[in-house]
């Protein structure tokens, strides 16, 4: 219970994607929460592109939603286009992506947060932590205005604001975003306590005036019809989708951009931070892919009620004049005017090996980190961490068991496990390739995997849980029907041969026919009107999940067996204070890495780069296994 206007259960610093999810989760779990932000008008701001989801990122948003988070709902309420990416590949790689109305996205986030009665707000900059006398426990925060707030737990979700420096050509200015001041003081205090810190960088492209773009010269990129949604809740369907557009750079554009390299902070050494290798700036692309004559660019609308557009693929920190000249030689952008140029931003982060799997820091009890402060990039990665940090901060305050997801349970589990056991040497972004159990961790079954866990923890609502149970019953019912319904050669062979399929010689279940590559569930209903009528009464998403489960049953079972092996290693704990330097049977690198990362289990130790199978065998021998 809140005891005074400055006394809270949980304080969340920062109101970006991580902070919003953290604050909402902790408050809905019964904590009195204070969300502190430097600007109340920037709650839920999309600092970079106005889009949510994408390859593997879409899976994260579906999981956040299944756990009772708000990112999926806010995305659905503000999206202007929906696309399911990777449709040409297997369902393990299908990833939803939404183009969003930037202003509406932020407005809906603020509205949802303001509906939570135990969540309070304060506009200010946090400049330091209140700590116990031994500096081993956090007790609150103090702000630039001189106010102090106390709390049982504090979650830092500072994004790019810690020590933020913005670069445009040789020009530098301090800031966490263009036109917004950085956060100072926290990094120095945490470093003095003993935290390791580093610098990372990210970038953003210029924003353009859509009235000055010649769309007749661009390739149109429409959304899916009918459009999908992110949330498993009954969010409003998307209507009147807006298209995105595609254009390309060319050798002339590259030549102009190259002229600015002498004033590029990336190449002159002014930027010391590590940038994302998989999302390079346009100048970096030109250098790294010198043999390519063109690079694809996406023209993305910022919303329904603005002419501002986002030039995806053209992130740059080159001088403004160079950016403007290069734009004039891109098809469709010959007369384009900039609202503001692209820029790079450097900021402080804390290598995440300093965290537990709950996202609580090892050095200071009840202090949690989430988002870019942990070396990640992307709204989705930040929101996922924020949700887990909020749930665990509430659990710590209430004396409840922690909420931790395994690598075989969720992409969120993969994300956090990667951060803590492998560390980061560049801004971390989620990819489907990072998940060894990605066929089990599909975007379509996130609710079936996670909603019950969250409901039992206390976050997912009863209504959400009942909705999941209904969908689960439909999936299982359809699988049961297809598995037990058998057809004879006389009933089906003529139709099979008409489809170019080989006939059957004995009674065969519909599920056995469904695994044939050229047959889909929709096609299989053609000779069976009663089956078509049955499926018409089901939730289409349940039908899709059932079809995938049948068609990929063998592969899914193989992944489950691998997951069981992983769990057996997970059950072998490592003493938290084990002095690895004394285990001479380990390689020097293994001793060094194990002391640094402090894995909780043998399985986590095996994930650390530099720890060999021989080192794992030596550890098992030491533990008597």
- Residue 402 maps to a domain: no
Reduced to 3 states, what is the DSSP secondary structure of residue 608?
coil
Give all strands (DSSP E) within 244-301, no chain letters. Answer: 244-248, 296-301
With 60 as the cut, is the pLDDT of residue 163 above it? yes
Contact call for residues 187 and 197 (beta carbons, < 8 A) = yes
Other residues' Cβ atoms within 10 Å of the Cβ of residue 502: 9
pLDDT tens, residue by residue, 262-320: 887 776 666 666 666 667 889 989 988 889 999 999 999 999 999 999 999 999 999 99
Q: Tell me what pLDDT residue 272 has.
A: 66
Q: Are 624 and 602 in contact (CB under 8 A)?
A: no
Quote the pLDDT of residue 196: 96
185 is a domain residue: no
Q: Mean pLDDT across the stretch 216-235?
A: 96
| pLDDT of 510 strictly over 90 | yes
Confidence of residue 1 (pLDDT cuts 50, 70, 90): very low
Residues 483 and 532 in one domain: yes
In this predicted structure, which of 6-20, 267-281, 514-528 has the lowest mean pLDDT?
267-281
> What is the token pair recorded at 590?
């293994």
Instruction: Please determine, for residue 210, whether its predicted confidence score (pLDDT) is greater than 90.
Output: yes
Q: Are residues 595 and 513 in the same domain?
A: no
Is residue 553, in this structure, part of any structural domain at all? yes
Q: Is the pLDDT of residue 257 over 60?
A: yes
Tell me which residue of 244, 251, 240 sits closest to 213, measured CA to CA: 244
**Given pLDDT bands bounded at 50, 70 and 90, which one contains residue 172?**
confident
pLDDT at 625 over 80: no
CB-based contact 311:297 (threshold 8 Å): yes
Cα-only R_g, the chain:
26
Domain stops at, among 531, 557, 583: 557
Question: Region 143-166: what's the mean pLDDT?
Answer: 94
Task: Say if residue 495 is in the same domain as residue 578.
Answer: no
Band of the pLDDT at 609, cuts 50, 70, 90?
A: confident
483 vs 501: CA distance, rounded Å: 20
Which domain covers residue 507, as residue numbers?
462-557
Residues 331, 293, single domain; the answer is: yes
Question: What is residue 169's predicted lDDT score, i.e. its pLDDT?
Answer: 85
pLDDT at 617: 81
* Contact residues for 52 (Cβ-Cβ < 8 A; gap 6+): 61, 71, 75, 79, 97, 98, 100, 230, 379, 380
Q: Is the confidence at residue 526, as pLDDT, over 80?
A: yes
Residue partners of 99: CB distance under 8 A and separation at least 6: 50, 51, 79, 80, 81, 82, 223, 242, 244, 300, 301
Contact (CB, 8 A) for 606 and 595 = no
Residue 537 reports pLDDT greater than 60: yes
Average pLDDT, the chain: 93
The model's pLDDT over 422-441, given as tens digits with 9 standing for 90+, comes to 889 889 999 998 888 999 99
Q: Classify residue 53: in a domain, yes or no.
A: no
User: Comparing C-alpha atoms, which of 397, 371, 398 is closest to residue 151?
Assistant: 397
220 with 293, same domain: the answer is yes
Residues 213 and 339 in one domain: yes
Q: Which of 327, 343, 359 is the last residue before a domain boundary?
A: 343
- Of 176-180, 291-295, 590-594, minimum mean pLDDT range: 176-180
Question: For residue 216, what is the domain's CATH number?
Answer: 2.40.30.260
Considering the chain, what percentage of its residues have pLDDT values greater than 90?
78
The domain tally of the chain equals: 3
Q: Is residue 521 domain-shared with residue 579, that is, in the same domain?
A: no
Is the domain of 528 the same as that of 580?
A: no
Q: What pLDDT was estimated at residue 237?
A: 94
Residue 202's pLDDT is 87
Residues 253 and 335 in one domain: yes
For residue 234, tell me if it sits in a domain. yes
Residues 496 and 589 in one domain: no
Higher-pLDDT residue of 202, 551: 551
User: pLDDT at residue 600 above 80?
Assistant: yes
Task: Give the pLDDT confidence of 370-401 residue by residue, as tens digits.
Answer: 999 999 999 999 999 999 999 999 999 999 99
CATH number where 604 lies: 1.10.150.570
pLDDT tens digit string along 566-586?
778 777 889 988 999 999 889
Of 308, 343, 378, the position where a domain reaches its end is: 343
pLDDT at 219: 98
pLDDT tens by residue, 473-487: 999 999 999 999 999
Largest CA distance in the chain: 84
Residue 228 confidence class, pLDDT cut points 50, 70, 90: very high
Phi, psi of 206 (to 5 degrees): -70, 150
Residue 271 has what pLDDT?
A: 67
Q: Are residues 220 and 319 in the same domain?
A: yes
222 and 302 belong to one structural domain = yes
Peptide bond just before 207 cis, omega within 30 deg: no
CATH at residue 515: 1.10.10.1800
End-to-end CA distance of the chain: give it in Å, rounded: 47
Domain assignment of residue 386, yes or no? no
């Amino acid at each position: 219970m809140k005891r005074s206007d400055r006394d809270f259960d949980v304080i969340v610093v920062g109101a970006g994607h991580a902070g919003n999810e953290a604050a909402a989760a902790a408050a809905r779990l019964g904590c009195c929460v204070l969300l502190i932000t430097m600007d109340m008008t920037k709650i839920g701001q999309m600092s970079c592109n106005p889009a949510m989801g994408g390859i593997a990122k879409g899976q994260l948003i579906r999981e956040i939603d299944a756990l009772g988070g708000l990112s999926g709902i806010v995305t659905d309420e503000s999206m202007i286009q929906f696309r399911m990416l990777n449709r040409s590949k297997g369902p393990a790689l299908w990833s939803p992506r939404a183009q969003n109305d930037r202003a509406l996205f932020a407005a809906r986030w603020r509205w949802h947060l303001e509906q939570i009665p135990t969540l309070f707000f304060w506009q200010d900059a946090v400049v330091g932590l209140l700590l116990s006398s031994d500096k081993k426990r956090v007790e609150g925060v103090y702000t630039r205005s001189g106010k102090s707030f106390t709390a049982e737990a504090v979650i830092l979700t500072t994004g790019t604001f810690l020590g933020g420096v913005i670069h445009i050509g040789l020009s530098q200015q301090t800031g966490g975003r263009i036109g917004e001041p950085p956060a100072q003081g926290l990094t120095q205090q945490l470093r003095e306590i003993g935290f390791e810190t580093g610098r990372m960088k990210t970038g953003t492209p210029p924003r353009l005036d859509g009235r000055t773009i010649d769309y007749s010269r661009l390739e149109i990129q429409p959304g899916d019809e009918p459009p999908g949604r992110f949330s498993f809740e009954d969010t409003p369907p998307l209507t009147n989708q807006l298209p995105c557009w595609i254009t390309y750079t060319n050798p002339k554009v590259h030549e102009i951009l190259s002229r600015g390299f002498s004033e590029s902070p990336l190449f002159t050494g002014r930027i010391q931070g590590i940038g994302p290798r998989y999302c390079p700036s346009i100048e970096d692309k030109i250098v790294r892919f010198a043999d390519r004559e063109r690079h694809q660019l996406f023209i993305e609308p910022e919303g329904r009620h603005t002419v501002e557009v986002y030039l995806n693929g053209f992130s740059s920190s080159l001088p403004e004049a160079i950016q403007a000249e290069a734009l004039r030689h891109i098809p469709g952008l010959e007369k384009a005017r900039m609202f503001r140029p692209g820029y790079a931003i450097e900021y402080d982060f804390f290598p995440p090996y300093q965290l537990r799997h709950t996202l609580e820091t090892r050095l200071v009890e009840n202090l949690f980190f989430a988002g870019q402060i942990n070396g990640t990039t992307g709204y989705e990665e930040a929101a996922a961490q924020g949700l887990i940090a909020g749930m665990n901060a509430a659990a710590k305050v209430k004396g409840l068991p922690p909420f931790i997801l395994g690598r075989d349970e969720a992409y969120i589990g993969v994300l956090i496990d990667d951060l803590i056991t492998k560390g980061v040497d560049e801004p971390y972004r989620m990819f489907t390739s990072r998940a060894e159990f990605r066929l089990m961790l599909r975007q379509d079954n996130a609710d079936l995997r996670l909603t019950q866990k969250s409901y039992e923890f206390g976050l997912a609502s009863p209504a959400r849980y009942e909705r999941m149970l209904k969908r689960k019953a439909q999936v299982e019912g359809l699988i049961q029907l297809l598995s037990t319904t058998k057809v004879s050669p006389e009933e089906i062979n003529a139709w099979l041969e008409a489809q170019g399929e080989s006939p059957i010689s004995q009674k065969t279940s519909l599920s056995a026919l469904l695994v044939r590559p050229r047959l889909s569930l929709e096609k299989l209903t053609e000779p069976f009107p009663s089956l078509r009528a049955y499926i018409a009464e089901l939730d289409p998403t349940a039908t899709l999940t059932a079809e995938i489960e049948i068609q990929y049953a063998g592969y899914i079972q193989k992944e489950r067996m691998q997951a069981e092996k992983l769990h057996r290693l997970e059950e072998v704990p490592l003493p938290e204070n084990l002095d690895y330097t004394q285990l001479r049977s380990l390689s020097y690198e293994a001793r060094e890495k194990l002391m640094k990362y402090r894995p909780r289990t043998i399985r986590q130790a095996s994930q650390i780069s530099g720890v060999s199978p021989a080192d794992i065998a030596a550890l098992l021998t030491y533990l008597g296994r």
